[in-house]
Copies of this chain bind each other. A is one copy, B any other.
Amino acid sequence: MEFTISQESHQCSGRLGEMTLPHGKVQTPAFMPVGTQGAVKTIGSEDLEALGYELILCNTYHLSLRPGENLVESLGGLHRFMSWDRPILTDSGGYQVMSLSKYRKITDDGVTFQSHLDGNTVHLTPERSIEIQRKLGVDISMALDVCPAYSATEKEVREAMDRTHAWAPRCLEAAGENQAVFGIVQGGVHPDFRAESAEVITGMPFAGFAVGGVSVGEPTDMQYPVVQTTAPLLPADRPRYLMGVGHPKDIIHAVKNGIDMFDCVLPTRTARHHGLYTMNGIVNVLNQKWEGHNGPVDPESVFPATARYSAAYMRHLFKAAEPLGARIATLHNLAFYARLMHDIRDALSKNAWPELEKKYENA
């Protein structure tokens, strides 16, 4: 992969860039919708195209359990499987092992866990994670890390970090010739750990670098210092990816500190819980106040497949458990995020960062 920075802000550490990947170019800063099981819930690839997304995230853990990477490989890879011909990034499975499996045991070799689908015992190693992602045929693979929850002790965070460091070279070693792999910095909310992890991981020839272990339950005011201290420690000539983040204001904060890539389930998950993003915050469209509202929830929405529907209709759809409600809300929220990223790139290119922050201050 190639990564070029076309412009650096005069007003913050934000930068405008472009990744060139096997399936196309991606303008950065970029947000990736999450297609956990090879689909962004309720919407198709034609919708993602209409929304203008250039890069999506899928989950190695889920896809390896079902339908299995060998089936996907035999059918020509994940792009063909999903009928999506733009770039795909997969996570490594580390986060899901932490968040989804009831039982897990981590050793130097890898992690053994019970599948959340059938309880079967599964063994995931750094080599195996990279192999799965290679078979899926994605554009960007993530190194297997150990991702501790926010509730982890300092000792557990240290162990997770050390193991992540030990696994990182094995991921690079396992990678195919043209397989772009990103390394992941761990270290929890401890600045000294983060500095140590950044030094170790950026010492290896990864195609890009991620800040992992955030969005694991910590309050936002503990996440921001991690971003502020870690982002500048990552090489300026490689993409910087803040995993699992976040709210519009979190993304704006991170771009300001030099982050280029994001993924988050918030816009899609919130949509399924009748929450619509607007410039004035998330609106719960089930609220009684929308019962007779004849215009769209978000008067600034310009996405044709959602702006045509009134708040009153959206409320009815959710009350009546009509699947169309979650679909319209998902399209709306992803259109909101697409516009956010467009506005961010626009502000960077025009050196209008304060105006951007002002525009989204209530979002």
Residues of chain A touching chain B, judged by Cβ–Cβ distance below 8 Å, are 37-46, 62, 66-67, 71, 74-76, 80-83, 291-292, 294, 304-305, 308-310, 312-313, 316-317, 319-320, 322-324, 326-328
Contacts and interface: CB of A to CB of B under 8 A. Distances in A.
A74 to B, nearest CB: 6
Given A37-B320, A81-B310, A313-B83, A327 B76 contact: no
Contacts of A39: 317, 320, 322, 324
A319 B38 CA distance: 12
Given A292-B71, A312-B75, A322-B39, A44 B83 contact: no
Nearest to A328: B44
Contacts of A310: 75, 80-81, 83
A82 B313 contact: yes
Counting chain B CB atoms within 10 Å of each CB, the highest count among A62, A75, A326 belongs to A75
Q: Which 5 A-B pairs have the closest CB atoms?
A: A83-B308, A37-B320, A39-B324, A67-B316, A39-B322
Given A44-B328, A308-B45, A308-B46, A322 B71 contact: no
A46 B80 CA distance: 26
Contacts of A324: 39-44
Contacts of A292: 71, 74-75
Q: Copy number in this complex?
A: 2
B312 A41 contact: no
A310 to B, nearest CB: 7
7 contacts: A37-B322, A39-B320, A44-B305, A75-B292, A80-B310, A82-B313, A83-B309
A75 B309 CA distance: 12
Counting chain B CB atoms within 10 Å of each CB, the highest count among A39, A80, A309, A326 belongs to A39
Contacts of A294: 75-76, 80
A243 to B, nearest CB: 23
Nearest to A67: B316
A79 to B, nearest CB: 11
Contact of A313 (B41, B81, B323): B81
Given A44-B309, A83-B309, 14 more contacts: A37-B316, A38-B320, A40-B324, A46-B304, A46-B305, A67-B291, A67-B312, A67-B319, A74-B292, A75-B294, A75-B312, A81-B313, A83-B310, A83-B313
